[in-house]
Structure 1
């Protein structure tokens, strides 16, 4: 059935018109309709503003996010603080203790950084918005909460951030100039700084027997300059060294001075760590800090010879879950890293498994024994550089005639008793070592 306008009576139209007129005159209806209209308008305005802000942010700004796990995080925080100067109202502090090079007294210094929140600073001609946030998640290596720093600038080019990162890096490295960094393995597969950067130890301060120190240093320098030679011949580009001999003869001290001489840092791996597994060791070797020497101290304490284990299966129970096979694979397995220098030390070379110290894993084996007459002479001259060499000759002659095994540490300990008195050192040396 079809209806048209002719079927609606004038009375019905009049009733509908009067109904709408009554709604218009009703104050409650008018107010409610107005509120709905205002709410809808504000909602549309809010959404439009949000979309406009997002669009402008995508089209007209560029952002950089730096996570606290990244090495540049601390660099950029310190650098930003230098640009904020006194303008920042919320800052965080980190306290440092350092020694004065002249009087060796410990002084306290403070490093400030922008705290959690939003900060603004001007870099060249650009205003930068820096937002530092902190998450509830904790970094396994440092034990600190994971943080993120987001930098935002007007424009579409990232050059401004590249310049900032380069300047932050240069500023951080200038503070470490002349220092040796010591790394240790964190709980995960990453490395972390251990303690404060150490002053580089002079190479000549460690006195080994004639030619040993120079030969090892020259060998490493030749290795560092021969990467193309290795790659052209398909030889794995890595080098391993084993220093063995009695305790206190200068093995670790020499490695510290050697790292400084070749401008490398030191990454220490404790193979007796109960949390060190084969997989974690592989990751640590692969992610070792660039330009660093991986140091495995007292390697005999981590593993025994397979002959010993064969005769006594329980000889090494309770040691770390790391296996000898895992260490061998990390040193020269398929997945082992290239361009790596590994230095091992031991007091008992006879306890090491032959597979561990075969060529390819250990390329240079060097015995560092008790002090010889030549070493004693040079140690005396190092302590008293202004002294007549004849006095040093008499000192070395006296100790050599005792026919006793003396380590460098023992002789150094004796000379420390007479720091500025070489004649007293010569006079008392025989009685001291004959005790």
Structure 2
């Protein structure tokens, strides 16, 4: 009995001693999947899971037999798609070395409880190391952040709504130069100047008690460059785009208000073809599904009591006459801009940019053909026939300069 009591006491002493020693010598950092650093760290870990020789050079070492796959699918406008696979550390315990210090990583997934709105399981990553190396945590997170920012540098990120969260859609895209979108003279400059002036007047709005938000409506015929210009403007300002589909299943007024109020920093909220959504104050998808988003809920999300601030909303429409006056009144839409079909000057500018730098055709021939095309466009417009910038661009992509001028007349349509 004495030996048994002694062994039990010794066991409890060892447990208490190891616990106290662990608390004294070790430090743990916990990151949950609601924090942006969670994705940054997993991406950093996947990036540094290189060959053993590279790991020896960089001073980082990581190897795991428990992996998870993350798949990103990008759907293109022409119907094609591409998938990118990334292997990351799966749930379990992993060890890695960072700047000479060993760290233990535990990735835990709660399968019995899900996030209420998005339906994804709760996850946490816990990093444990010696207390003397606690200063490495901020350096590691900063390195992961810089890697994420570097991968997105010079690129445009498109986000879509998943439940009540904004998540990246596909891979970041190359930014489109603002000058590559040819609009009527002064149209693009007007929008850009208004956005830049708004971004510089935060304190001006606060001093006067005005909600710091701005709404834009770009209207005009299809293919005139409305969405293309918004994408180019976002790239020029280093902003992202949050693409909102009001026909999404499961979207309600409350979720819509939450999405508007929690849009990522430095991002535009883009709602395309808003006339198709609420021309009758009823939101119905193509397959007959009626969305739970109401017209009044949409208006409240734009400028109601619960609507967020520090927000820029862009809406596009092909038929402005179908929009309810309540939607486009000042305060909800602060600037309305017509983005029309191609004018003679636009046609000439686009033609020169396509063929002006070509070595196959002399500059004087480019100027002559551009003049011919400009005169042709002016004559067609007098007869009520128009052509979209999208149709012109497709024509120039498929044909040479002379062939484009010869076949251009067939693309003009009666408006």
TM-score, length-scaled by structure 2: 0.84
Please give the secondary structure, in 1, of the residue aligned with 2:278.
Answer: coil
Structure 1 unmatched ranges of 5 or more: 1-32, 100-105, 310-316
Matched, 1:383 2:360: no
Please give the secondary structure, in 2, of the residue aligned with 1:133.
Answer: strand
Match of 1:409 in 2: 390
The answer as to whether partners of 2:387 and 2:413 remain within 8 angstroms in 1 is: no
Please give the secondary structure, in 1, of the residue aligned with 2:327.
Answer: coil
Please give the secondary structure, in 2, of the residue aligned with 1:249.
Answer: coil
Match of 1:22 in 2: none
Please give the secondary structure, in 2, of the residue aligned with 1:402.
Answer: helix
Note the C-alpha offset of 1:116. Answer: 2.9
Structure 2 unmatched ranges of 5 or more: 53-61, 75-80, 283-287, 358-362
Note the C-alpha offset of 1:199. Answer: 0.8
- Listed one character per residue, the Cα deviations across residues 234-288 of structure 1 (whole Å, up to 9, x for unaligned) are 1111110001111121111111111111110000111122321111111111111
Match of 1:162 in 2: 138
Summarize the Cα distance change of 1:142–1:46 in structure 2 as closer, same or farther, 3 Å threshold. farther
Match of 1:50 in 2: 15
The answer as to whether partners of 2:181 and 2:225 remain within 8 angstroms in 1 is: yes
Could you say which structure has the larger radius of gyration?
A: 1
The answer as to whether partners of 1:91 and 1:112 remain within 8 angstroms in 2 is: no
- Greater shift after overlay, 384-393 or 77-86? 77-86
Note the C-alpha offset of 1:198. Answer: 0.9
- Listed one character per residue, the Cα deviations across residues 187-220 of structure 1 (whole Å, up to 9, x for unaligned) are 2x11111111111111112111111011101111
2:128 alignment partner, one of 133, 149, 152: 152
Summarize the Cα distance change of 1:433–1:327 in structure 2 as closer, same or farther, 3 Å threshold. closer
The answer as to whether partners of 2:107 and 2:123 remain within 8 angstroms in 1 is: yes
The answer as to whether partners of 1:249 and 1:369 remain within 8 angstroms in 2 is: yes
Correspondence 1:181-192 to 2 at 5 A: 181-187=157-163, 189-192=164-167
Note the C-alpha offset of 1:305. Answer: 5.2
Matched, 1:394 2:372: yes
2:230 alignment partner, one of 248, 252, 255: 255
Correspondence 1:172-211 to 2 at 5 A: 172-187=148-163, 189-211=164-186
The answer as to whether partners of 1:294 and 1:341 remain within 8 angstroms in 2 is: yes
Matched, 1:351 2:322: yes
Aligned residues: CA RMSD: 2.8
Matched, 1:302 2:302: no
Match of 1:360 in 2: 331
Note the C-alpha offset of 1:48. Answer: 2.3
Give the distance between the partners of 2:46 and 2:411, measured in 1 at CA. 56
The answer as to whether partners of 2:261 and 2:307 remain within 8 angstroms in 1 is: yes
Match of 1:14 in 2: none
Correspondence 1:32-71 to 2 at 5 A: 33=1, 37-38=3-4, 40-71=5-36
- Listed one character per residue, the Cα deviations across residues 150-202 of structure 1 (whole Å, up to 9, x for unaligned) are 00122178532122111100011101111111111112x11111111111111
Give the distance between the partners of 1:107 and 1:281, measured in 2 at CA. 29
The answer as to whether partners of 1:60 and 1:154 remain within 8 angstroms in 2 is: yes
Note the C-alpha offset of 1:434. Answer: 8.0
Match of 2:95 in 1: 120
The answer as to whether partners of 1:245 and 1:348 remain within 8 angstroms in 2 is: yes
Match of 2:45 in 1: 80
Give the distance between the partners of 1:327 and 1:405, measured in 2 at CA. 34
The answer as to whether partners of 1:302 and 1:319 remain within 8 angstroms in 2 is: no
Please give the secondary structure, in 2, of the residue aligned with 1:334.
Answer: coil
Give the distance between the partners of 2:413 and 2:321, measured in 1 at CA. 30
Give the distance between the partners of 2:14 and 2:390, measured in 1 at CA. 74
Give the distance between the partners of 1:411 and 1:230, measured in 2 at CA. 42
Summarize the Cα distance change of 1:178–1:96 in structure 2 as closer, same or farther, 3 Å threshold. farther
Summarize the Cα distance change of 1:74–1:425 in structure 2 as closer, same or farther, 3 Å threshold. same
1:219 alignment partner, one of 174, 181, 194: 194
Note the C-alpha offset of 1:329. Answer: 1.5
The answer as to whether partners of 1:266 and 1:293 remain within 8 angstroms in 2 is: yes
Give the distance between the partners of 2:194 and 2:23, measured in 1 at CA. 55
TM-score, length-scaled by structure 1: 0.80
